[in-house]
């Protein structure tokens, strides 16, 4: 189980939607502090002022740009933060750039609220929060018939162990402890896995692990 997030950044320009998402966060994560930003500039100001979010819900279509512009620096500067896109855009032109930038989840705001809530609950279990339509799109994108076995064989036994644990939501310290290796060695394994599988995020790595049959989808 992942620790309960205590601070969240909510980037959403529509006031009514922001209020809805904030209420959803407060319901799923009791006691969480939610910092709301209605623009990229405001979100950057909050981070520059010292905000340390463990969870970020990021819209893509904003008055002053694309939410992906926040995702990359947020992922680099706050690696422990779970970044989840919350948007109405479910096309390839939005999904893949956001995941490549470092988003670990992608939720469509037009799905039923109970599904959104269930996806947020999954964060504590280390499950990538993906709307079903997005998960299907990613699986189709990465499914190349006959390649799954080849990809699995390209990984060493230790790399497969790391990939399975990453898919189950383990963070770097947990990986090092479970495998009894240094964090530096874990980082090297992760770099090799990402390079061999041609992925750029935990969400993509998890889908690849499912495609190779290493974990259940």
144-211 has the same fold as 7-140: no
How much is the average pLDDT of 60-83?
Answer: 93
pLDDT confidence tier of residue 145, bands split at 50, 70 and 90: very low
Angle at 125 between CA 81 and CA 206, to 5 degrees: 75
**pTM score, two decimals?**
0.67
How much is the average pLDDT of 126-134?
Answer: 79
How far apart (Å, rounded) are the C-alpha atoms in residues 166 and 62?
32
Query: What pLDDT, on a 0 to 100 scale, did the predictor assign at position 1?
Result: 58
Name the CATH superfamily for 7-140.
Response regulator (3.40.50.2300)
Query: What pLDDT, on a 0 to 100 scale, did the predictor assign at position 12?
Result: 96
- Write down the CATH number for the domain with range 144-211: 1.10.10.10
How far apart (Å, rounded) are the C-alpha atoms in residues 212 and 150?
9
Tell me the per-residue pLDDT of 83-119, one tens digit each, with 9 for 90 and over.
Answer: 999 998 888 788 888 988 999 889 998 888 888 888 8
- In the chain, where the domains are located: 7-140, 144-211
Query: What pLDDT, on a 0 to 100 scale, did the predictor assign at position 147?
Result: 54
How much is the average pLDDT of 32-51?
Answer: 97
Phi/psi at 101 (5° precision): -70, -20
């Amino acid at each position: 189980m992942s620790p309960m997030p205590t601070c969240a950044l909510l980037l959403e320009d529509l006031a009514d939607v922001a209020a809805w998402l904030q209420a959803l966060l407060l319901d799923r994560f009791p006691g969480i502090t939610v910092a709301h930003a209605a623009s990229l500039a405001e979100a950057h100001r909050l981070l520059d002022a010292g905000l340390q979010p463990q969870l970020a819900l990021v819209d893509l279509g904003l008055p002053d740009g694309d939410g992906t512009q926040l995702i990359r620096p947020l992922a680099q500067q706050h690696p422990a933060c779970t970044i989840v896109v919350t948007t109405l855009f479910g096309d390839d032109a939005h999904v893949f750039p956001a995941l490549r930038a470092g988003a670990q989840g992608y939720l469509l705001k037009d799905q039923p609220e109970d599904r959104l809530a269930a996806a947020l609950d999954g964060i504590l279990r280390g499950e990538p929060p993906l709307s079903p339509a997005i998960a299907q799109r990613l699986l189709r994108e990465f499914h190349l018939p006959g390649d799954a076995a080849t990809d699995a064989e390209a990984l060493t036994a230790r790399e497969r162990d790391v990939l399975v644990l990453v898919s189950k939501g383990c963070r770097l310290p947990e990986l090092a402890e479970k495998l009894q290796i240094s964090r530096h060695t874990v980082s090297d394994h992760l770099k090799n896995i990402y390079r061999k599988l041609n992925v750029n995020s935990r969400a993509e790595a998890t889908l690849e692990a499912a495609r190779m049959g290493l974990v259940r989808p």
